[in-house]
């Protein structure tokens, strides 16, 4: 086994590799860009090396810098994770030329599967079924259009390089072929530097089912069963599961045998995934699946396979790369239960899954797994970390395992409902809606399911009056004395204001909300009066209070997997705005006049501090909004309510 490895990646996969390395007694070296200087993977590793600015082209895609870092730190091998350089055969050549071990397949294997058209020709020779289509070198539009007619519409135009849905177009009619081809080529050229395409038969009800394979340098290849990755948006996976729902013994046998045959055809060593497209229009049948592509690396969704087989695939990678045989034979690998993985992203599902950024001011995952299930959280971030625009906006992978699919699905829904994230727009509500979707729950899933149900899956109901009231209570500062995780236990502190209502303003989207918060003593409840369209009076019982998080300028209330975020305007800024040019300054909130710094008859200038108001357990300076003479000022030690006149200027104060 290696003594030290370098991980040429970031985020949750870097953290994942570090955990297994630590378990095996292997020291780890992290690499990081400017944006990741304080990242979790840097903190977890035994050593860390800075490799450049934040853009990936200047850091994580710089193979020369990564190899230099490995040599400088004495690492013996490099683990590529996934993405970045993980499937770049030129990088593998760089690593091996430097006398280091690449923890993955050979450069030759990667090249053999790197281009979809060449890979499919290779699979045809190996006897692996491929989708009917044209995979040749000629790229003239007349030829491609002719092949499309031979195949029969609808057809799918696909970039021969890359993945992730880029350079892909579905064409329903011959008249649309030319325009779709131009669009696919432009996108492929921009994304992969290669505008060549292939044309395939479009499968009407496609299931994306993939098989995890593993090989070693002794020629042994095994499979670790299948995963279903059909739940996709924009051709990118959202929820994966193992095993595939509805899988028949005949199809599993045919598919796993084909996957092993594919890996052996290229002398594969390490972790790999053979992806198949399955026609589910008439159920799952052994003669209705076709090779799509091979991912010559560890997959994002590998944890579901680990959950149902008990294998640590990263450990297998390290052992095989170190020259050991596969840890298990095929007969020793068995399936147990069912697992789901949900990818939690910073993205706005309602806006076409637009990636989001922001600071994770509040990040809380379930402390324990739902009853009867097991759970793991794969993440590379902590509360306070920033989701930057430079990298994939994944926050975490939530993985659950149950005794069967229904138990695992219920556990997934519960775990998502207990996940709390504030500071960025996230997709937890969408994931929970998908998990609860009738078709998905029944296992009737295909790659078009999310598209068909997208409006319903991304719709978030408006906040109830109870949610708004809870936000108003939190924003009012009534719970300011309480611990951050229990803002409801501090009503005794709020009694300082006696039962005088506290006026609070919120904003939800475009809606401006005004609320009056007051304590109902002695029963320990509080009451919030809201302007229409919400209830005019909505008492809440603290024993059933919603979960919430306060963060700068906002409060988020959680209801299930939905986080309702309300903006809380700065009352002092609002007071200054209203008071500018006015003959008086009013209290922006209830509080105590802690200190008076001016006197009646004194001439003051704009910006001069006049008094200190203590509110929400903080001191706020009230300053003059213009030059003038004080006609009246509050008394030190006075308890004031929202709107009380604190300072009045003489009439000649301004003109």
- 33-47 in b/e burial notation, b at 16+ Cβ within 10 A? bebbeebbbbebbeb
Q: Residues near 580 by Cβ (< 8 Å), separated by ≥ 6?
A: 625, 626
Q: Where are the alpha helices (DSSP H) in 167-323?
A: 177-192, 249-265, 302-309, 313-321
Query: What does the alpha-carbon distance between residue 206 and residue 192 come to, in Å, rounded to a whole number?
Result: 25
DSSP β-ladder status, 101-102 and 77-79? parallel
H helix or E strand, kind and range, residue 524 = none
Angstrom distance (rounded) from CA 271 to CA 300: 12
Question: What are φ and ψ of residue 419, in 5° steps?
Answer: -90, 130
Choose among 577, 576, 578: nearest CA to 609.
Answer: 576
> Catalytic residue among 27, 169, 297, 418, which?
297
d(CA 130, CA 200): 10
C-alpha to C-alpha distance for 160 and 192, rounded to whole angstroms: 9
The DSSP annotation for 92-113 comes to HHHHHHTT-EESS--HHHHHHH
Q: Cβ-count burial of 638 within 10 angstroms (0-12 exposed, 13-18 middle, 19+ buried)?
A: middle
Distances, alpha carbon 277 to alpha carbons 196, 229, 284, 414, 653, in Å: 21, 10, 11, 31, 78
Compute the distance between CA of residue 649 and CA of residue 45 in angstroms, rounded to an integer. Answer: 62
Could you tell me how many residues make up the chain? 655
Structure tokens at 188: 């492929």
- Is the preceding peptide bond at 275 cis, omega within 30 degrees of 0? no
What does 70-91 look like in DSSP terms, one character per residue? HHHHT-SEEE--SSTTTT-HHH
Q: Active-site residue 297, yes or no?
A: yes
DSSP H stretches of helix in 266-404: 302-309, 313-321
C-alpha distance from residue 362 to each of 190, 302, 344, 379, 548 (Å): 37, 27, 15, 14, 10
Rounded to whole angstroms, the Cα distance separating 151 from 109 reads 30
Output the six-digit token pair for 415: 């775990």
Catalytic residues: 297
């Amino acid at each position: 086994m290696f003594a030290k490895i370098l991980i040429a990646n970031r985020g949750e996969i870097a953290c994942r590799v570090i955990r297994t390395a630590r378990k095996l007694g292997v020291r780890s070296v992290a690499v990081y860009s400017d944006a990741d200087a304080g990242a979790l993977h840097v903190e977890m590793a035994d050593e860390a090396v800075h490799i450049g600015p934040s853009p990936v082209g200047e850091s994580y895609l710089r193979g020369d810098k990564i190899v230099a870092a490995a040599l400088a730190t004495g690492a013996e091998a490099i683990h590529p994770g996934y993405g970045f350089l993980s499937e770049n055969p030129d990088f593998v050549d760089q690593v091996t030329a430097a006398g280091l071990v690449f923890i993955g397949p050979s450069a030759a294997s990667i090249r053999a599967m790197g281009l979809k058209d060449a890979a499919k020709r290779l699979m045809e020779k190996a006897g692996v079924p491929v989708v009917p289509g044209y995979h040749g070198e000629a790229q003239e539009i007349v030829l491609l259009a002719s092949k499309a007619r031979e195949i029969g519409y609808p057809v799918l135009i696909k970039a021969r390089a890359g993945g992730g849905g880029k350079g892909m177009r579905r064409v329903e009619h011959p008249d649309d072929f030319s325009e779709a081809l131009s669009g696919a080529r432009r996108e492929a050229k921009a994304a992969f530097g290669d505008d060549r395409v292939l044309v395939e038969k479009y499968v009407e009800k496609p299931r994306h089912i993939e098989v995890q394979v593993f090989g070693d340098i002794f020629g042994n290849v095994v499979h670790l069963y299948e995963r279903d990755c059909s739940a996709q948006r924009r051709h990118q996976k959202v929820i994966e599961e193992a095993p595939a729902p509805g899988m028949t013994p005949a199809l599993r046998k045919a598919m796993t045998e084909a996957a092993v045959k594919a890996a052996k055809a290229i002398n594969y060593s390490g972790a790999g995934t053979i992806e198949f497209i399955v026609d589910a229009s008439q159920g799952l049948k052994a003669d209705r699946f076709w090779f799509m592509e091979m991912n010559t690396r560890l997959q994002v969704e590998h944890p579901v396979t680990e959950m149902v087989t008990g294998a640590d695939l990263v450990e297998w990678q390290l052992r095989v790369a170190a020259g050991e045989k596969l840890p298990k034979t095929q007969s020793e690998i068995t399936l147990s239960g069912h697992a789901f993985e949900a990818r939690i992203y910073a993205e706005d599902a309602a806006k076409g899954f637009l990636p989001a950024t922001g600071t994770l001011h509040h990040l809380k995952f379930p402390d324990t797994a739902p009853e009867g299930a097991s759970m793991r959280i794969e993440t590379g971030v902590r509360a306070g970390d920033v989701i930057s625009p430079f990298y994939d906006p994944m926050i975490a992978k939530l993985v659950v395992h149950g005794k069967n699919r229904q138990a695992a699905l219920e556990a997934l829904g519960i775990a998502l409902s207990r996940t709390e994230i504030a500071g960025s727009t996230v997709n937890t509500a969408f994931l929970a809606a998908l998990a609860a979707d009738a078709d998905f729950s029944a296992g009737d899933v295909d790659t078009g399911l999310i598209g068909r149900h997208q409006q319903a899956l991304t719709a978030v109901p408006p906040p109830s009056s109870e949610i708004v009231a809870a936000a108003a209570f939190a924003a009012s500062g009534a719970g300011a004395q309480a611990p951050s995780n229990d803002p409801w236990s501090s009503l005794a502190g709020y009694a300082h204001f006696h039962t005088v209502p506290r006026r609070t303003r919120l904003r939800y989207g475009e809606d401006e909300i005004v609320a009056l918060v007051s304590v109902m003593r002695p029963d320990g409840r509080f009451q919030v009066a809201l302007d229409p369209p919400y209830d005019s009076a909505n008492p809440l019982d603290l024993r059933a209070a919603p979960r919430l998080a306060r963060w700068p300028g906002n409060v988020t209330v959680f209801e299930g997997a939905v986080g309702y975020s309300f903006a809380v305007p700065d009352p002092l800024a609002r007071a200054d705005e209203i008071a500018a040019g006015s003959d008086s300054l009013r209290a922006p909130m209830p509080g105590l006049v802690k200190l008076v710094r001016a006197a009646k008859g004194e001439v003051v200038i704009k910006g001069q501090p006049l008094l200190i108001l203590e509110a929400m357990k903080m001191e706020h300076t009230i300053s003059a909004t213009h030059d003038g003479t004080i006609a009246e000022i509050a008394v030190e030690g006075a308890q004031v309510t929202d709107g009380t006149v604190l300072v009045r200027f003489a009439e000649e104060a301004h003109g």
